[in-house]
Amino acid sequence: MSQALSSSGYLTGQMLIAMPQMMDPRFARTVVYMCAHSSDGAMGLVVNRLFDALSFPDLLEQLNIKPTPRCDQIRVHFGGPVDAARGFVLHSADYVQETTLLVDERVGLTATVDVLKAIADGAGPRHSLLALGYAGWDAGQLDGEIRDNAWLNVTADEELLFSGEIDQKWERAIAKIGVNYSMLSGEAGHA
């Protein structure tokens, strides 16, 4: 059912799709972009859930950065339940700083105030997604959840990752695999 893992056997640069029977309300019907996955654990950002309590201009003002009119249209995402006060910008690889983690040749992750300033000034990356918090797994935890049929994975693409159509990302991610989500079963090995 899942797409092939990277050559290392890990899911860095892939998207996780929560199975319909996901019981954890923090992850029900989520799509998570995997920023890192190794034998030590995994880290990703939920890309289809908004953080409604704070707007981008409000966040900039808290950081003493003057918002510009273009900031009004930028939304803040709920990146996951871990360290919810910490901000991350997932972005296209056309913007790279010394502190940027290049996930792959197309996507970077930057967690500094400088990227927020650049976005506010219109000098940031071509595509970006701002998230507060992240999803984290200890060593072997994500692998166990996948074996327990909690997640599917699919190759990430820019349109799905950075699209503003938040409400349709889960269905579109499943459709990208070629599966009708109403036909998915909660039993491992069955669809």
Assess whether pLDDT exceeds 50 at residue 2: no
Q: Which residue has the tokens 């992240």?
A: 134
Global pTM exceeds 0.85: yes
Residues 117-167 have pLDDT tens digits of 999 988 999 999 999 999 999 999 999 999 999 999 999 999 999 988 899
Query: Distance between CA atoms of 168 and 88, rounded to whole angstroms?
Result: 22
Q: Per-residue pLDDT averaged across 47-73, rounded?
A: 89
CATH superfamily assigned to domain 14-183: VC0467-like (3.40.1740.10)
CB neighbourhood size of 134 (10 A): 24
In 3D space, the residue among 18, 11, 85 whose CA is nearest the CA of residue 41 turns out to be 11
Computed over every residue of the chain, the mean pLDDT equals 89
Domain ranges of the chain: 14-183
